[in-house]
Amino acid sequence: MERNRDSETVDTTPRQILSFMLDGDSFGVEISGIQEVLEYRDVTRVPRTPDYMLGVLNLRGRVIPVVDLRRLFGMQIAPVSVETCIVIIDVELDGKRTPLGVLADRVNEVVELDPALISPPPRLGARIKSSFIDGLARHEDDFIILLRLALIFSRDELETVLHESAVDERRASADAEEVSV
């Protein structure tokens, strides 16, 4: 930590970011919020959920909701490729950390970024929601758009997605009990 000339504390600790691609653009999230990266696998669609929610997957007995950021961000939908993966992240809801899967075209790498190379998010006007952008980081000859995934979804959207996946998890548990009987 250093102090700038206005006596404010400035964090000079490098930030570790997992960078991934969506529609040709680089995005990144803090590595501390990532559980793991999975090869793409089919997900079970959950009725009456938003179109950006692909469905749920079973990860070691836990039902994890999976969202498609391309759909959420209004990008062109792309077919699944050999590089497509699901990044399992932790989001916080009511003080509880909850896993959520995010579809990515491909994962690039973990990069260490100097905070001095991170610019604040651009002002996009009142009509475009950009509160989920943490900043823009210059890396090599490109930019990485840093995301605050917990802020991408409204509280209601996140609760809906997590509620539907919890209902699906209870159904899966009940089905498993019936099979074992």
Q: What are phi and psi of 105, to 5 degrees?
A: -60, -40
Domains of the chain are 2-173 (2.40.50.180)
pLDDT at 156: 66
Instruction: State residue 141's pLDDT score.
Output: 83
Q: The tokens of 136 are what?
A: 């823009």
**Dist. CA 34–CA 144, nearest whole Å:** 17
Which portions of the chain are predicted below pLDDT 70?
A: 1-11, 93, 124-130, 153-181
Do 53 and 65 touch, CB atoms closer than 8 A? Answer: yes
Angle at 152 between CA 155 and CA 165, to 5 degrees: 60
Taking residue 172's Cβ as centre, other Cβ atoms within 10 Å add up to 16
Residue 3: what pLDDT? 44
* pLDDT for the residue numbered 2: 47
- Centre a 10 Å sphere on the Cβ of residue 126 and count the other Cβ atoms it contains: 6
Q: Which residue has the tokens 């399992």?
A: 88
